Amino acid sequence: MSPGECDPAPARRRAVVHPGAWWVWAISLGTAATRTTNPLLLGLLTAASAYVVATHRSPTPWARSYTAFVRLALAVVLVRVLFAVALGSPIPGTHTLLTLPEVPLPHWAQGIRLGGRVTAEAVVFAAYDGLKLATLLVCVGAANALAGPTRLLKSLPGALYETGVAVVVALTFAPHLVADVQRLRAARRLRGRPDRGLRGLLQVGLPVLEGALERSVALAAAMESRGYGRTAEVPARVRRTTTALTLGGLLGVCAGTYGLLTAEGGAYGLPLLLAGVVAALAGLRLGGRRSLRTRYRPDPWGPRAWLVSGSGAAVAALLTLASVRDPQALHPGVVPLVAPALPLWPAAAVLLALLPAFLPKEHP
């Protein structure tokens, strides 16, 4: 590099969105999905997350796992509807779709039925309920596709490093598994061998498991060579203070969250939640002294990260407000059975989730 040229690495690092911001954005969209059963709003949330993933994901194994999360979400909706058809539903209805043969059950299984009358109201209610969970899964898949687990691990506090390693290994297992299955099926098709059905599954499964075992052994050797698990000596007083702050903070968070979710605990819920968060963060800060590690080229939390996380938090806050002010719009009724309507300002709030799509694509 000539003397007149500048190193482009710092500029690239500034252009990279912090991985924690993508997770805050995705978890906020998932929180918004839990506040409604309106299929139109849930469809908007899914479409917004899919568009952002399409514009910002990188060609990495974990990014390609987004399709697997979408398929899992569709399977969740299908299973939820099948359960409502086969096991019945407590939702009353007058529009009968079909009547299945009912299996008589003993007296101790009262309240449960197999078969019987299947109503349109019960099927629609089950579809709404399954779609809410499916949207949550799609949002988690979007976070997994946009934020690399290894980058996220670098941003964790030192006290959570060992737990973070276990979570990252678990998160990277599924994307690598999907990539191995796709690679082996493509190789079998090129050789003219079957890649579908029970025979193809058995012949693909063994190499996939063998590759997973080899990857696990290599990961264990790499972690051991890098001194994973070493801890620094800290005074006993600091250890006791760390434990008290962390446990007390987590208990405060649990109690404050419970207070916010109940009508009687609204007065003490928010102060207790904030105090628990502060105590837990202080405990994590002190606990990080035991971790002997450094960060190479840490990801900065800049304006782009604030925009990404803020857009998701705004969607969650506005939909939570809408669920309080206009619950009928966010929870369309099924008895009587009516077509869902698209509420205007909650739909406009969901569109805020598209703001990260207009940022320039990352080049880490």
Asked if residue 353 and residue 265 are part of one domain, the reply reads: no
Q: What is the pLDDT of residue 227?
A: 64
Task: Pick the last residue of a domain from 290, 310, 327.
Answer: 290
At 113, is the secondary structure helix, strand, or coil?
coil
CA triple 245-25-267, angle to 5 deg: 50
pLDDT of res. 59: 73
How many structural domains does the chain have?
A: 2
- The conformation of residue 343, written as its DSSP 8-state character, comes to -
Residue 186 lies in a domain: no
Residue 96 φ/ψ, nearest 5 degrees? -85, 125
Residues 270 and 319 in one domain: no
The predicted structure's pLDDT at residue 314 = 92
Q: How far is CA 85 from CA 116, 239, 314, in A?
A: 9, 55, 37
Domain extent at residue 245: 236-290
Residue-wise over 320-330: b if at least 16 C-beta within 10 A, else e?
Answer: bebbeeeeebb
Last residue of a domain, one of 290, 313, 332: 290
Which of 264, 290, 316 terminates a domain? The answer is 290
Same domain, yes or no, for 121 and 63? yes
112: left (phi over 0), alpha (psi -120 to 50) or beta: beta
* Beta bridge mates, 252: none
Asked whether 299 and 362 are in contact (CB, 8 A), the reply is no
The CA angle 149-150-154, to the nearest 5 degrees, is 115
pLDDT along the chain (364 residues), means of 10: 44 63 89 89 92 84 79 92 82 78 72 76 88 92 80 65 64 68 78 70 73 72 65 70 80 78 63 83 70 62 88 90 85 83 89 88 58
Say what the pLDDT of residue 10 is: 46
In this prediction, residue 23 carries a pLDDT of 87
Beta pairing partners, 291: 231
Kindly state whether residues 37 and 130 are assigned to the same domain. Answer: yes
Q: Give the count of beta carbons closer than 10 Å to the beta carbon of residue 27.
A: 18
Residue type, 216: S
